[in-house]
Copies of this chain bind each other. A is one copy, B any other.
Amino acid sequence: MTKKWAISGVDLHLDLKGTRVRAALESALREAVSGGRLRPGTRLPSSRALAADLGIARNTVADAYGQLVAEGWLTAVRGSGTRVARRPAPADSTPAPEAVILAQTRYDLCPGAPDLSAFPRSAWLAAARRALSVASCDTLGYSDPRGLPELRRALADYLGRARGVRAGPEHIVICCGFTQGFWLLCRVLRASGATTLAVEQFIQQGTCQAAKENGLTLTTLRVDERGARVSELGAADAVLLTPAHQFPLGVPLAARRRAQVVEWALDTGGLIIEDDYDGEFRYDRHPLGSLQGLSPEQIVYAGTASKALAPGLRLGWLVLPGRLIDEVCAAKTLADRNTGAIDQLTLAEFIVSGAYDRHIRRSRLIYRRRRDRLVTALKRDTLGVRISGIAAGLHALVELPPGHDEQHIIARAADHGLALLGLGTYAKDPHNHPPALVVGYAKPPEHAYTSAVARLSAVLAEAARSS
């Protein structure tokens, strides 16, 4: 039955079905208070009176009052009875704005992510099952801030053979993507007295912001067709490089400059941070080994599963010079103690079982084909574009004919439901770069790729005609 009763002129509807009378009473009172229907200071009837009113036991009412007093909704003052406690206005219930979504986008050629529809869900779940079936209980507790030994061992072996990284498992710290790894490094650098970090002329803006937030001043290295001009390093305390495949220009760091930057580190004691974000994806040339292998005590190697698998995994790793391990671990401990254990165990099993290599081989084949289709589609003389940075990675640089406005092209593409990003997005000096698009050809699901490239091609053709 549903009972209806009133306190101080406020009608309360109480569903007294079943035996949960007290819970119902508490909940009705809570609602009346939080909704503002019972105002602060309002005196409630005595438990005896209310119990008689409702036809329930007095103790039930007294217990409910007691509970709400304990929770702070009511106050009970000897001699003055039970009253509604002073409370602020109800919480603002306006939803905070959801993250910006490109609502009308049907095709997406922005760089930075692989084809998420190709994430190997079944193989990942199978690896998780195998890993969890043998993992010791300790792995689910607070653990070594460097990460679980299972994953560090698997990575040491994988990185050694696939990327020429020289490190034992004890030099590896697992972190929540490159983002966290870089963040921790910035903190450690700043704490050790470093003040300046050199970065490449084109770079993710979030990366710059993380460095600045941690008190580092940025200096800029220009990038040309042989990669970052490391001769401009000067007195920087550290440098962040993308030697295998400059992001977003796509050039590798030339051999002489690789040697040169190592010399710089040896001479000045400076630290090199090697962001090897897509080192697994090479198409036309023998893979370049990591820079780290040349001089492990001068170089931090930073890798990630974001491009090879998915950014949502939030799994990255730092391979550290011995002198930095303890400090990075201390920073990690304060920041979040550990990275999620189940994902770590799963990735370890995924690597050791060979599933990771298989996935990369398969992806490499697919992305290489996509790249070739992109190049074919855009090579027509009438478009007047120049494509570069395509020997590796998941994106291409498409330079527009001189005088073209990349923002205009991007806006026109948006009108056609195609999301694009321009080189300006990554330029430290937004007024000083050739007009170009950074085309992420890995991102669309396979079924949408042909249409996405066709639209890009159409937008470029339209721009060429109207110029």
Contact = CB atoms under 8 A, between A and B. Distances in A.
Contacts of A279: none
Interface string A213-227: 100000000000000
Nearest to A286: B67
A255 B71 contact: yes
Oligomer copy total? 2
A121 interface: yes
Interface string A124-165: 110011001100011111111110000000000000000010
Given A179-B336, A312-B139, A258 B72 contact: yes
B337 A142 contact: no
Nearest to A91: B296
A194 to B, nearest CB: 17
Contacts of A206: 333-334
Contacts of A167: 91
Contact of A314 (B256, B286, B336): B336
A461 interface: no
A322 B92 contact: yes
A311 B294 CA distance: 38
Contact of A259 (B85, B336, B340): B85
Contact of A69 (B121, B146, B255): B255
| Interface size, A (range) | 35 or more
Contacts of A338: 311-312, 314
A304 to B, nearest CB: 11
A195 interface: no
B98 A311 contact: no
A166 B72 CA distance: 14
B177 A336 contact: yes
Contacts of A333: 206
B112 A142 contact: yes
A99 B326 CA distance: 10
Contacts of A325: 96
Contact of A95 (B70, B121, B168, B180): B168
B209 A94 contact: no
Interface in A15-74: 30, 34, 63, 67, 69-73
Interface centre among A30, A112, A256 (most CB of B within 10 A): A256
Contact of A113 (B90, B91, B141): B141
Interface in A311-338: 311-315, 321-322, 325-326, 333-338
A93 B168 contact: yes
B116 A311 contact: no
A93 B170 CA distance: 9
Contacts of A176: 176, 336-337, 339-340
Interface string A95-107: 1101100000000
A183 B334 contact: yes
A49 B76 CA distance: 98
Contact of A177 (B213, B263, B337): B337
Given A34-B293, A71-B293, A121-B132, 19 more contacts: A63-B286, A71-B255, A71-B288, A72-B259, A76-B255, A85-B262, A87-B295, A91-B296, A91-B297, A91-B321, A95-B170, A124-B132, A140-B312, A176-B176, A177-B336, A180-B335, A213-B334, A314-B336, A342-B342
